[in-house]
Amino acid sequence: MRICQGKAMNSVQETIYDESKILTLSSLEHIRLRPGMYIGRLGNGSHPSDGIYVLLKEIVDNSIDEFIMGFGKRIDIRVENGAVNIRDFGRGIPLGKLVECVSIINTGAKYNDEVFQFSVGLNGVGTKAVNALSDQFEVTSFREKKSLFAQFKSGELKNDPATNDTNESNGTKIRFTPDSKLFPNYCYDLGTIRKQLWNYAYLNRKLTITLNGEKFKSENGLLDLLKEEVSEVNLYDIVHCQNGQLEMALTHTEHYGEEYFSYVNGHHTNDGGTHLSAFREGILKGANQFFNASFDGPDVRDGLVGAVAIKVQEPIFESQTKNKLGNSELRSWLMPLVRDTIVDFLYKHPEVAEPLKQKIQTNERIRKELNNVKKAARENAKKSALTIPNLKDCKFHLGDKSERGDESTVFITEGMSAGGSMISARDVYTQAVFCLKGKPLNCHGQGKEAIYKNLELYNVMKALGIEDSLEDLRYKKVVIATDADVDGLHIRNLMLTFFLQFYEPLVLQGNIYILETPLFRVRNQKTTQYCYSETEKDEAFEKLQKGTHFEVTRFKGLGEISPKEFGQFIGKNMRAVPVGVEHTHEIPELLNFYMGTNTAERRRYIMENLV
């Protein structure tokens, strides 16, 4: 055997590393080169975390900061034809620094505690990122009867700003259009924006925000938020307290799990952080102190819906997108403050204390009963198999220290026929497949013990790793992949019922998806096009019918799609639609209507809409 190492080495082209290879980028060039460092994901607007909503939020955050400091009680927003217009009535950006404030990183007044005491944007990056990532960016500052207008394209100044007289009220007006090269085919969803604006309204009482003329205003802060979220399903009147830099609200419902809304300086922290941990701990300690008991945390918090908002001078976020707070020193003062606030409230409101105690004791009894069922289910599982049946796992998982953990996805399919092609086509590093055996149990109206009495649902729970805590979820995305026929849609609804009944937070935080698969394949000798609707099929038909041997195939089910073809549908071009719920209080009624026993209302709906 000859090993031609020298020859192989010589065949590699030598790379020259000298001064010419060292590049210095301007701050805005770096933002455009690495946008994910500043705004997280890019996307096209189909997901609430997509970058175009971060751009809007960065501008509104500045206007909110003005309101917090006592300047400007109204913010007007218009979103039309992909462009965003925002006008606030604060102090306006100092005219002499307008261009620098919107184009040079680390320029701003938020480093000065005398100017902004409780601000979200402390790093002087937000508006600059919007400027750099926009095809068009225009800013006008109105200040003391003077105005200055600056126009940018992809972060580059395109005009010679000059000061003019004006009769406009003080404030700032910004118009931007996201760069379609970075956000291809983007589209703003007004429903997503409305949720953002209601969060601002709840956290900033008396502030008026308008979106295309629609008004957003809250008089009672977090109390209004929880009233909207839980409607009339709360077990006792909402606990609402404000104490210095803390505002909190909480109540219990009959739902499983815990649901929280957490905020820092008026900013929604989707992933919580140290303030949420201190809030949860304070609730537990407050309840135990008042009732002179030693209840477990899950017993006190199961069914809890809570909201917490704090104000801190120097928030430390774990990323530029500010989804999670990292100030470790908060616990030392926030947890005792929450605890004492809970105790004080319960002493003053015995009508709340009694139903709260009953809820905790009910949770404790159900947990102990469930532990017995768990033990029996685990013993049966040990006898049947050492691994989870019908799960083809992947290498990387959510929570791993590997860089690809956030890419992890599990597809829940109906049967091995559909799962077979997917198993062959998947990325074995980040994509797992769980094949259901027929139709799963309808969980509507059942207790959590139903999971342990049904082997299929038990295996789903074990595969996802969520038996003890949702924080142990093994996959970033849980994708329900069923046929587009009646049986497939029924299985999809049964799985959605399972998640909404027992693991509602997974739906609310955007972990559950529906896979869209093509209904048609249209091809000629040169081109193959997959179509997801009749409209797409007709368009492809018009485009490709000129070729010879023209063919249209209708896929009846996922099992008919070959592994080679399936790889195109679960790869980088995968169409996975996140499952969303606008108001959590609507979930019980929704499940009861579609998945409960037959009712006159459902029969009437079927006759009027489906027959």
DSSP string, 464-495: HT-SS-GGG---SEEEEE--SSHHHHHHHHHH
Rounded mean pLDDT of 248-277?
Answer: 87
The model's pTM: 0.66
| CB atoms inside a 10 Å sphere around CB 167 | 7
**Per-residue buried b or exposed e for 340-356, using 16+ beta carbons within 10 Å of the residue's own CB:** ebbbebbeeeeebbeeb
Q: What is the reported pLDDT for 548?
A: 61
Evaluate whether 437 touches 413 at the Cβ level (below 8 Å).
Answer: no
For residue 569, pLDDT beyond 50: yes
Tokens in use for 428? 């074995």
**191 or 582, greater pLDDT:** 191
Rounded mean pLDDT of 325-347?
Answer: 90
121 contacts: CB under 8 Å, gap ≥ 6: 58, 61, 62, 65, 108, 110, 127
- Which segment of 151-160, 231-240, 583-592 scores lowest on mean pLDDT? 583-592
Matching residue, tokens 């093509």: 518
**594 or 426, greater pLDDT:** 426
For residue 210, pLDDT beyond 90: yes
Report H helices in 260-391.
274-291, 297-301, 331-348, 350-384
Torsion of CA 434, 440, 442, 446, to 10 degrees: -70
**505 or 27, greater pLDDT:** 505
Q: How far apart are CA 200 and CA 548, in angstroms?
A: 58
Residue 116 DSSP one-character state: -
- Structure confidence by residue, pLDDT tens digits, 100-153: 888 887 665 544 444 444 544 434 468 888 999 999 999 999 999 999 999 999
Q: What is the reported pLDDT for 26?
A: 63
Helices 350-384, 331-348: crossing angle, 10 deg rounding: 120
pLDDT confidence of 250, banded at 50, 70, 90? very high
pLDDT confidence of 339, banded at 50, 70, 90? very high
pLDDT confidence of 38, banded at 50, 70, 90? confident
Highest mean pLDDT pick, 62-71, 169-178, 488-497, 526-535: 169-178
Tokens in use for 547? 């070729």
610 contacts: CB under 8 Å, gap ≥ 6: none
Residue 441 DSSP one-character state: P
| Amino acid identity, position 171 | G
pLDDT confidence of 87, banded at 50, 70, 90? very high
For residue 584, pLDDT beyond 80: no
Q: How far apart are CA 482 and CA 415, in angstroms?
A: 9
Strands 259-264 and 304-310, sheet pairing: parallel
Q: How far apart are CA 512 and CA 400, in angstroms?
A: 20
Distances, alpha carbon 204 to alpha carbons 48, 118, 269, 378, 503, in Å: 21, 12, 15, 49, 31
Evaluate whether 575 touches 516 at the Cβ level (below 8 Å).
Answer: yes
Q: How far apart are CA 132 and CA 156, in angstroms?
A: 8
- Structure confidence by residue, pLDDT tens digits, 413-449: 987 766 777 888 888 999 999 999 888 899 888 888 8
The mean pLDDT value of the chain amounts to 83
| CB atoms inside a 10 Å sphere around CB 292 | 6
Among the listed residues 360, 379, 406, 390, the one whose alpha carbon sits nearest the alpha carbon of residue 459? 390
**385 or 578, greater pLDDT:** 578
Rounded mean pLDDT of 185-190?
Answer: 92
pLDDT confidence of 369, banded at 50, 70, 90? confident
Q: What is the reported pLDDT for 16?
A: 67
Q: How far apart are CA 102 and CA 151, in angstroms?
A: 10
For residue 163, pLDDT beyond 60: yes
The arrangement of strands across the sheet holding 246-252 comes to 239-243, 246-252, 304-310, 259-264, 267-268
- Structure confidence by residue, pLDDT tens digits, 457-482: 989 999 999 988 888 899 999 999 88
Domains annotated on the chain, with CATH = 28-199 (3.30.565.10), 227-365 (3.30.230.10), 385-517+575-609 (3.40.50.670)
Q: How far apart are CA 178 and CA 84, in angstroms?
A: 9
For residue 18, pLDDT beyond 80: no
Helix/strand/coil (H/E/C) assignment for every residue in 147-184: EEEEEEECCEECCCCCEEECCCCCEEEEEEEECCCCCC
| Amino acid identity, position 544 | L
Evaluate whether 508 touches 499 at the Cβ level (below 8 Å).
Answer: no
Q: What is the reported pLDDT for 8?
A: 40
C-alpha Rg value of the chain to the nearest Å: 28
Sort 330 into a burial class: Cβ within 10 Å, 0-12 / 13-18 / 19+: buried
pLDDT confidence of 546, banded at 50, 70, 90? low
Share above pLDDT 90 across residues of the chain, in percent, rounded to a whole number: 37
For residue 261, pLDDT beyond 60: yes
